[in-house]
């Protein structure tokens, strides 16, 4: 796999305990910052955009 650039998701908690990193490209990769050695999940860009749309549309819980 070629070199990937990762960034912390803006949806990760500010405490650092619940961090998710994302690498966007032809395939979107998502991994747990605290457990990088466990690998990553892969998504098509369309599936990732649909997921983000659902997250943004979700109402905050009381």
pLDDT tens digits, 7-59: 987 766 666 566 889 999 999 999 998 899 999 999 999 999 999 898 888 76
User: What is the domain count for the chain?
Assistant: 1
pLDDT at 11: 62
61, pLDDT greater than 70: no
Instruction: Give residue 24's domain range.
Output: 7-57
pLDDT at 52: 87
Please check whether residue 33 lies inside any domain of the structure. yes
Within its chain, how far is the Cα of 26 from the centroid? 15
Please check whether residue 22 lies inside any domain of the structure. yes
30, β-bridge pairs: 22, 41
Please check whether residue 16 lies inside any domain of the structure. yes
pLDDT at 29: 96
Please check whether residue 2 lies inside any domain of the structure. no
Buried b or exposed e, range 21-45, using 16+ CB within 10 angstroms: bbbeeeebbbbbeeeeeeebeebee
pTM, 2 dp: 0.75
């Amino acid at each position: 796999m070629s070199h990937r650039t990762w960034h912390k998701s803006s949806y990760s908690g500010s405490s650092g305990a619940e961090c998710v990193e994302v690498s966007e490209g032809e395939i979107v990769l998502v991994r747990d910052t605290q457990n990088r050695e466990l690998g990553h999940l892969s998504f098509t860009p369309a599936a990732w955009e649909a997921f983000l749309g659902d997250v943004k549309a979700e109402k905050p819980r009381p």
